[in-house]
Chain A
Amino acid sequence: MRRLAPLLLAAVIASPAGAAETRMPPRGEESQAHLVIESTTDFVIFEPILLAFQRQNPGVTITYRELTTNEVADDVAAACEEDRFIADLVISSSIDQQLKLVNDGCALPLGAEARAGLPDWARWREELVGLTFEPAVTVYNRAYFENRRVPESRFELIDLLRESQDFVGKVGTYDIESSGVGYLFAFQDALQASTWGRLVESLGRNRARLFCCTADILDRVADGRLLIGYNVLGSYALQRIESDERFGIVLPDDYTLVLARAAFVAKAARQLELAENFIAFMLSAEGRDILSSEIRLLSPIDGPERLAALAASGSADPQTLRPIAMTPALLVGLDRAKREIFLEQWRAALPAGSVAAGEE
């Protein structure tokens, strides 16, 4: 089913370096409309929902462009500035950057159908909507924790890192300077509780290793190169755990951050209605089923219930779930001066030497 875009097409659409672009031809005889999606989510993960949407709309061609969070933000900001078309729909897990783009007037208001049922925290104005429900989880190597107690909360994790020498060089988390999601989680952690300072200190003392991407952490936790991965995007872990027995997942029971991948229709969109329909489809019962069962992204509408059902440990108490609300408060983390101050504190605890991004 999956067809890679011809090189020619990829060349014509001058997309940033490293962009993977996939073109899905219509299922019907002729193409009636063309929906362009720019997203940070891997195409493989999104494919089921895109295919389901095409089944409903056989005349629709979909171009799915996959970029990093910063690329999406820069791309869309530049296009917005020049009032140029780049994509109909912009989906990113870096919701602070998404919110800033909307705040800067780069989005079009959506119809009520494309916002129906969403809780307050998962939408802003009529423009930004949350599509998924992804917890920030702690992953652990099952083999190592066979006979040991798994840290269920940040307090237990801090204690564990303090008491044991096993974790030196064996704790992994995002490099918040290069990972948008990592920065977002770290910044929210800093706001949520006083544990953040001690946790960063513990990570630094154990020479925690920093990664750009979720898959890198999961790989290493699975094969034992890492014992613990902190603040990992739960959707990836939940999906992977189905086929990989080597690691386990903890939803920290002091609090679990939850992120809703944010989407908006770009100001210069050519297919506003189609983009709205796609969002509405993702929020519909059918869309939610696909999101929850096939790709574990879940949905803001029924996320807490589904997550509770998924989490074998039973620690998915809705009381501890803290969704990151889409409000202008997210702008603070993006503020130049604030970011500088925050990164300074981060670097002070975690010297650049521990960055493991180049290890591959």
Chain B
Amino acid sequence: MTALAADTARGQSIAFRLGVAMVLILVLVVLASVVAATRFGQAASDETFDRLLRGAALQIAERVSVTDGRVRVDLPVSAFELLSLARSDRVFYRVIGPDGHTMTGYEDLPLPPGNAGSDAIYDARYKDTAIRAVKLTRLLAERSMSGQVIIVVAQTTRERTGLAASIATNAVLIIAAAGVLLLFLALLVLRVALRPLARVERAILEREANDLSPIDVPAPEEVAVLVAAINRFMGRLESRIEAMQNFVADAAHQIRTPITALRAQAQLALEEKDPERLNRLHRRLYARSVGLGRLADQLLSHALIAHRADTAAREMIDLRRVALEAERETRAASAQAITVELPDEEVWVEGDPVSLREAVKNLLNNAAKHGGAPITILVERHDGWASIMVRDHGSGIPEALAARIGERFTSDGISPDSAGLGLSIVASVAATHGARLARRTGENGFAIGLEIPVTRP
């Protein structure tokens, strides 16, 4: 329970993460929109007020005339009424005659920096204030006069800045409001979208502790993947637990019989006074305990194989090496002579070296026990297959037993000396390697082993 609490504390909720991500995105969007809206507002406002300026300048330009060889300008009131539409902006103007002298207006009103063409709209400073000005050039082509009259009309920027700010503010407010609304909607949608997860959680929590059957909860695609993964995992868990339970049951059964026999004989030996029969009992006791030891070995070996089948990493191995190692380990435990026949080239297969070695050792044990010398380990390569076989000169496996190879090692009637348990181990190694349990009978004797698909030519 505490572990569960710690886990939930460590991982934040999906809703929280998505919420944070969305807030960040929204903040970014709002910031971007502030920049965009400010630009847009400034542009829109400039366009509006520049029109006033240009309109006023055009009206003034229209009133430039030449009379009696003199240039005159008769300022139209309408031009200034136009400019007065920007209610609180100050107005400056300047008219420069063909001789370059200011004819009327503010003599120090700045012209655009550099001679930027005949007409220009520009920002400047005048009387300690930012102004926006338009410069218009009117060419004179009278009989008595030629040259140009420059008209400059300028305004302070208060109204246009105000308009720009109000456009931008409105836009940003709308965007921000939409953003907040979106956020709430998104969180709402999120809650709805994550509801299947809560259902799965409830389904798991409500289960009995030992219920490992697949979860059957209706779930959308994304969650279904998760549910399927959980189900696969539980499936594996269940098969492992089942295998374990079977093994424990089998092992108990397998071991209980010989131990009962051993105890009976030991009891007989205690009561026996006749030295000869006592000696015979001792020998039998010894044989029984050796058999029991081997049985225990095999059971452990089987457990090992079963465990590795699920957990061991597959690697590339040379079958010749497996053969040599199996031979060495077997030789250390028995006096039997074993020959090894190997090809010159490496024989690569993909698999678990430990499991394969155990399989070969079991075959060697069987051969030593039931077959006849000489015993040989053969490694060969065929098209697409590699084989590792153990050959002896015995009679082979009885048909009754051969038919049961591959079943779970059986509980009835297999004595510690039986080949059944060893073959069962070999069969399960074959199964985990996608290999075939092969038997051959020829003039050289009986051979049994694994044929494994080759992964490298």
A335-B81 in contact given A105-B128, A125-B88, A328-B91 (Cβ < 8 Å): no
- List 18 other contacts, CB 8 Å, given A329-B84, A335-B75: A103-B90, A103-B92, A104-B90, A105-B127, A327-B80, A327-B84, A328-B90, A329-B81, A332-B77, A335-B104, A337-B72, A337-B73, A337-B75, A337-B95, A337-B103, A337-B104, A338-B75, A341-B74
17 residue pairs from A and B, CB less than 8 Å apart: A103-B91, A103-B92, A104-B90, A105-B127, A126-B88, A191-B77, A327-B80, A327-B81, A328-B90, A328-B91, A329-B77, A329-B84, A331-B80, A337-B73, A337-B95, A338-B74, A338-B104
| A319 → B minimal CB distance (Å) | 21
**Contact surface of A with B, Cβ cutoff 8 Å:** 102-105, 124-126, 191, 327-329, 331-332, 335-338, 341
Closest chain B residue to A336 by CB distance? B104
B74 touches A337 (CB 8 A): yes
| B71 → A minimal CB distance (Å) | 10
| A359 → B minimal CB distance (Å) | 34
CA distance A331 to B84 in the complex (A): 11
A328 touches B84 (CB 8 A): yes
6 nearest interchain CB pairs?
A327-B84, A328-B91, A337-B104, A329-B80, A125-B88, A336-B104
Asked if B214 is an interface residue, CB under 8 A from chain A, the answer is no
Closest chain B residue to A325 by CB distance? B84
CA distance A126 to B90 in the complex (A): 12
Contact with B72, one of A125, A191, A341 (Cβ below 8 angstroms): A341
CA distance A341 to B64 in the complex (A): 13
**Contact surface of B with A, Cβ cutoff 8 Å:** 72-77, 79-81, 83-84, 88, 90-92, 95, 103-105, 127-129
Contacts of A103 in B (CB 8 A): 90-92
CA distance A336 to B101 in the complex (A): 14
Contacts of A102 in B (CB 8 A): 90
Contacts of A332 in B (CB 8 A): 75-77, 79-80
Contact with B80, one of A125, A328, A336 (Cβ below 8 angstroms): A328
CA distance A336 to B97 in the complex (A): 14
CA distance A335 to B88 in the complex (A): 20
CA distance A89 to B105 in the complex (A): 26
CA distance A327 to B84 in the complex (A): 6
| B206 → A minimal CB distance (Å) | 70
| B91 → A minimal CB distance (Å) | 4
Contacts of A191 in B (CB 8 A): 77
| B18 → A minimal CB distance (Å) | 49
Residue in B77, B81, B88, B103 with the greatest tally of chain A CB atoms within 10 Å:
B77
CA distance A149 to B90 in the complex (A): 47
Contacts of B79 in A (CB 8 A): 332
Closest chain A residue to B85 by CB distance? A327
CA distance A102 to B127 in the complex (A): 12
Closest chain A residue to B88 by CB distance? A125
Closest chain A residue to B74 by CB distance? A341
Closest chain A residue to B102 by CB distance? A336
| A267 → B minimal CB distance (Å) | 10
Contacts of A331 in B (CB 8 A): 80, 91
Closest chain B residue to A103 by CB distance? B90
Contact with B105, one of A105, A335, A341 (Cβ below 8 angstroms): A335
Contacts of A337 in B (CB 8 A): 72-75, 95, 103-104
CA distance A329 to B75 in the complex (A): 10
CA distance A337 to B74 in the complex (A): 7
| B128 → A minimal CB distance (Å) | 7
Contacts of A104 in B (CB 8 A): 90, 127
B75 touches A124 (CB 8 A): no
CA distance A332 to B362 in the complex (A): 118
Contacts of B90 in A (CB 8 A): 102-105, 125, 328
Contacts of B83 in A (CB 8 A): 328
CA distance A63 to B77 in the complex (A): 38
Closest chain A residue to B127 by CB distance? A105
CA distance A124 to B156 in the complex (A): 14
Residue in B72, B75, B104 with the greatest tally of chain A CB atoms within 10 Å:
B75
CA distance A125 to B92 in the complex (A): 15
Contacts of A336 in B (CB 8 A): 104-105
Contacts of A329 in B (CB 8 A): 77, 80-81, 84
Contacts of A126 in B (CB 8 A): 88
CA distance A320 to B52 in the complex (A): 30
Contacts of B77 in A (CB 8 A): 191, 329, 332
Contacts of A335 in B (CB 8 A): 75, 104-105
CA distance A327 to B76 in the complex (A): 14
Closest chain B residue to A335 by CB distance? B75
| A329 → B minimal CB distance (Å) | 4
CA distance A331 to B155 in the complex (A): 13
| A296 → B minimal CB distance (Å) | 30
CA distance A102 to B90 in the complex (A): 8
A105-B129 in contact given A327-B81, A329-B81 (Cβ < 8 Å): yes
Residue in B73, B80, B92 with the greatest tally of chain A CB atoms within 10 Å:
B80
| A220 → B minimal CB distance (Å) | 33
CA distance A102 to B89 in the complex (A): 11
| A180 → B minimal CB distance (Å) | 18
CA distance A125 to B95 in the complex (A): 26
CA distance A314 to B329 in the complex (A): 136
Residue in A126, A328, A338 with the greatest tally of chain B CB atoms within 10 Å:
A328
CA distance A247 to B27 in the complex (A): 76
Contacts of B88 in A (CB 8 A): 124-126
| B426 → A minimal CB distance (Å) | 102
Contacts of A338 in B (CB 8 A): 74-75, 104
